Every structure is written in C-alpha cells, then in structure tokens.
Chains A and B, each alone.
Chain A
Amino acid sequence: MLDRVGIVAAAQTKYEATKLDKHLSQLVLEVSDKVAEEAGVSLVKDVDAVVSNSQDHWDGRTISSCPIPEVTGAHLKDESKVADDGAYAVMYGAMKILSGHHKLVLIVSHCCESMTDVSMIENCSVDHIFHREIGLDYTVCGAMQARRYMDKYKVTREQFARVVVKNKANALSNPYAQEAARLTVAEVMKSKMLAEPITELDRKPVSDGACAVLLASEDLAKKICKNPVWIKGMSNCYDVHYPGDRDLANCDALIKATKEAYKMAGIHDPLKEIDLVELSEYFSYQELLWTEGLGLCGRGEGGKLIESGATGMKGDIPVNASGGLLSGVPVTVAGTSRVAEATWQLQGKGGKRQVDGAKIAVAHGTGGLCGQMHCVLVLEKGGK
C-alpha cells in the first residue's frame, strides 16, 4: 500500500491544431495559474517543486524547460524536467512527495506539434544507424504493429474504426477537445490511407496545448481540497527498442506496469473494480491493444470488447470518455491530460462527459515506437 498522494487540481488548455499566436511559456502560465487558483495556493509561496515536462526536439530548444521557472513561480526554486510522456512526470512528482521531501508539487506539460514536422521528430527517436533512413515514423511503425495485431488475433479494421467513431463522438461533450464529430465506421475506413491499415482518421491529429496537475501530500491535500483524488497505485515499464525484437502484437511492458499498479492499488478484478479508463491511443488500434494490456479483456479480445459496447459511454467501463488522443492532444501532454481527465471524472467535474458514480479510474501514458514504454496510474475518488 502506498502512502497517499492526492491530486488536488488539474487544468488543460483547449487543444488546437495550432496555438502559435502564443509563446510556449504563455500556455504553461495559463494552466499553472488555473491549478493554483483552483487549489487556493500561491505558486511562489506554497508550491515547493515544479516538475516540467517537454521535449527538446519538439520545442526546437535545448533545455526546453528554460522558460518554465519564470512562469510557474519556480524562480530560484526546485524545478526539474522529465523528458518522457506526461504520465511519467505525474509519477515522478508523486515520488517526490512520497520521499517526504516535498508537500506540494506542480506538474506541467507542454508541446506544440504544429511548430515543426511531426514525422521528422518521430524519426529522430528511431535508431540512427539502422532505421532512420528506411523512413520510419510512428505512423509507419504503428501500421506494422496494427498489421501484426490483425494477423495474430484477427482483429479487424472495422473494430479499429469503431474506436474512432466512439472517441470522436465522446469528444463532442468535451470543451477542451480539438476535434469532435459524429462519424460512421464506413467514413473512417474510407478516409485517406496513410500507411495501411492506418487512415488519416485512425491517427491522432497534430495538436498544440498544455496541461497541469497539482499534487499534494495526504495531510495537505485534505486541508486544501474537499475531494482530492488519491493515487492508489502507479508503475511504469520499458520494453526493448527495436520493433523486430518483440512481437508487436504483445504489450509486455504495459502488462507488467499494470500488474504492479493494480497490486499496489489492491485491484484484483479490473472489469468490476474500475469505473473508467483514460488511456493514450495515438492510433485507433492502440485502444484495443491497450485495453488488453490493462486487463479489461483477454489477449486478442480487444476487438470483441469494443463491439460489446462495454467501453462506450453507456457501458460498464467507459474508455476515453474525454475523446482520448484521437480527439487531438499533443504528445508528451497526452499522459498528463489523461490524469487530468480521470481526476475530473472522480471529482464529478466531467460535465457532459461525466461517468456517473465513478470511484476508481485508470490513467495511462505511453511513449516510444509502438508503445515501447508505458505508465499506469490507478486513481481513487476522495472526500465525501
């Protein structure tokens, strides 16, 4: 059992295809101020550490956290940058509190994908000696993984398309979502093919934005927040790098991270005990594969799960009530935004996308080629 770390506030910018009218630091300022206001704390006086979260390659700036201390009240204070998906930054912030050294930690992620060329940056994460010049980006690698997944488990493009239909429709209820629409499976499957079987609609759109989450130690969380959301379990896990070194239809790293997080949280029967999931699906097929890794169904049954309706808004375990990444969330910010959405659900702040009676939620982040690394957090509703 973990000592308790509470999420006391969360904020997101509206995600948009481009937000280049603002300096990156202004986006960070916007969400940092919002969480401070919501929690009734001062960034300068009360927050004792800032975990910033961005990538040099996306910002085109070495030490991309340079502008962060100024706008987060962290001038001459403890600020450090996690250079992985936002869920890792949240987990790191929680570790800082669990160590006993900090009581109030601000996590803030930012990324404006429209600043640069997405494929080029993704290509920079691929092995530079063997793979870059072949022409791998995440869409190409995703296509390989989707194809392998289809071959091994007979999941279908129609099942992938259902994810897009569900999430884009869910996004209609999310005021922060970039893209929302009522689509049909046929429309998704007919959209422009990028890398077979991934079409334009099967892929997360290019997106800009920022997200902040404020974490507090248990006693402080109870003092400043009526209904803090407790982090009950958390873990992360790496898998091998070269896509050919593992069976891409497997998600061993996700399975391990999930097992550890659930054990910490005391979850034995995920389908019964978890009320909703916010996961990071960069492509439609990933939602199905990640639901398997998160233990919501057996291996190869992700397609059947979505067909059953269980992961829809009216189902037993809504997945991505927010619209997920398919509705438009930038990389890096993705994991943090899942934590923010899950937090709001557990605080009853989900608005039109609220899942009724939500008590336990799972937030998930991933990074690297074909989901090489995963981070899973189990969150519990606090307060009365």
Chain B
Amino acid sequence: MKSNTVPEFILHDVMLKIPYKWAAGEYMGEFLTQLKESGRIYSNRCPNCGRYSCPPRPVCGVCHTKTEPRDKWKAIGPQGTLLGFCVTEQSFMVPNTGKMLEVPYSIGIILLDGAPVTLQHRLAESNTEKLKPGMRVEAVFKPKEQRLGDIFDIIHFKTIS
C-alpha cells in the first residue's frame, strides 16, 4: 500500500540474491547419480563399528574409520518404516528457488529396509489423521527420463499399509 506520508522510521526493503555453486562431492554425488541411473538408494557401512551412513560418507562419524568403498555400498529401501513426521501449514520462500512453498507439506523420517539408517523426505500423505509412526511407506521415483540426479528424483514416500 503506497502512502504519501513519510514513515516514522526508515526501513530499507531489499531482496538479497547471491549466486552459489555447492559441490556435492564424490560420495553424495555418487548417491545422487544412483538415484538417477539405477533408481536405488545407497548407503555405506563402517567396517569398524558397523554403523551405516545414508547417504554414503567417506568416514564414519562415530569412530572415524574409513567407510567401505563403492563396490560394497548397499542399496536399501525403497520401502521403509515411518519413524516421525510433520505437516507444515505455513508457507515461506525457499532460498534456493525464490518460490513460495506449496502447503500443506508433509515431511517424514523413514527407517529404510536393509540398514538401521533413515532418510528424510517428503510424504505423499498430508492428512495427519492418516499418519502414524510405525506405518510402512515406499519411495516413489520419477520416470528415469525425468530424473536429474537430485534428491527430487524421489518424488515422495507413499503409504503402503
């Protein structure tokens, strides 16, 4: 709303736009590449304490041992168990895209079958009555020709039970 009166306090209204190039690096880069190429979710294991990382990392965060190399990476999921979730009603502008988020918007932490490790991603279901910890979900991938090698090659996790 424009006004002819001088505001009591001067405020500078700006939109900061800064370009960034974020490197995914070798390990996360390969994780994303596999989402695209094979439609599989990969994790890797620490040979010392047995802890899994998803996505794969070069070193175990707990015992700092070099993790298993690429040929030993394990494909996990695409099914899993929902451990926790939240449904967002309030929108905001996403810094990466400059676009407002579409609400309601549902996020879950999924314990993927095959390794004691979780992935955080969108859920297809945003009705809180229909969401419960312990329910089974499954990753839904984009058709291969539409995948880009980013986390949204998985569209979301849909309820399967």
Contact partner of A23 among B12, B24, B63, CB < 8 A?
B24
For B40, list chain A residues within 8 Å (CB): none
Contact partner of B18 among A22, A29, A71, A120, CB < 8 A?
A120
B161 to chain A, nearest CB (A): 34
Among A3-11, A111-119, A197-205, A336-344, the stretch in contact with B: A111-119
Interface residues of B in 57-97 (CB under 8 A from A): 57-59, 61-64
For B28, list chain A residues within 8 Å (CB): 23
A71-B23 contact in complex given A60-B18, A117-B18, A121-B18, C-beta closer than 8 Å: no
A112-B18 contact in complex given A26-B58, A70-B59, C-beta closer than 8 Å: no
In the complex the two chains form, is A70's CB within 8 Å of B57's CB? yes
Output the residue of A24, A69, A71 with the most chain B CB within 10 A: A71
* B21 contacts A by Cβ under 8 Å: yes
For B26, list chain A residues within 8 Å (CB): 21-23, 26
Bound: A338/B103 CA distance, A: 50
In the complex the two chains form, is B64's CB within 8 Å of A23's CB? no
Interface residues of B in 103-149 (CB under 8 A from A): none
Bound: A69/B61 CA distance, A: 7
Output the residue of A21, A70, A124, A128 with the most chain B CB within 10 A: A70
* A75 contacts B by Cβ under 8 Å: yes
Q: How many residues of A contact B (CB 8 A)?
A: 29
A20-B12 contact in complex given A44-B63, A69-B61, C-beta closer than 8 Å: no
A128-B12 contact in complex given A114-B21, A115-B20, C-beta closer than 8 Å: yes
Residues of B near any A CB (own CB < 8 A): 12, 16, 18-28, 57-59, 61-64
Task: List the 4 shortest-distance A-B pairs measured between CB atoms, nearest first.
Answer: A23-B25, A70-B61, A60-B20, A20-B23
Known: A115-B21, A128-B12. 19 other contacts (CB 8 A): A21-B25, A22-B23, A22-B25, A23-B23, A24-B23, A25-B25, A26-B25, A29-B59, A44-B62, A71-B58, A75-B62, A115-B20, A115-B22, A116-B21, A117-B18, A117-B19, A120-B18, A120-B19, A121-B18
Residues of A near any B CB (own CB < 8 A): 19-26, 29, 42-44, 57, 60, 69-71, 73, 75, 112, 114-117, 120-121, 124, 128-129
Q: Could you show 26 A-B contacts with beta carbons less than 8 Å apart?
A: A19-B23, A21-B26, A23-B23, A23-B24, A23-B25, A23-B26, A26-B25, A26-B26, A26-B58, A29-B59, A42-B64, A43-B64, A44-B63, A60-B18, A60-B22, A70-B59, A71-B59, A71-B61, A114-B21, A115-B20, A116-B19, A117-B18, A121-B18, A124-B16, A124-B18, A128-B12
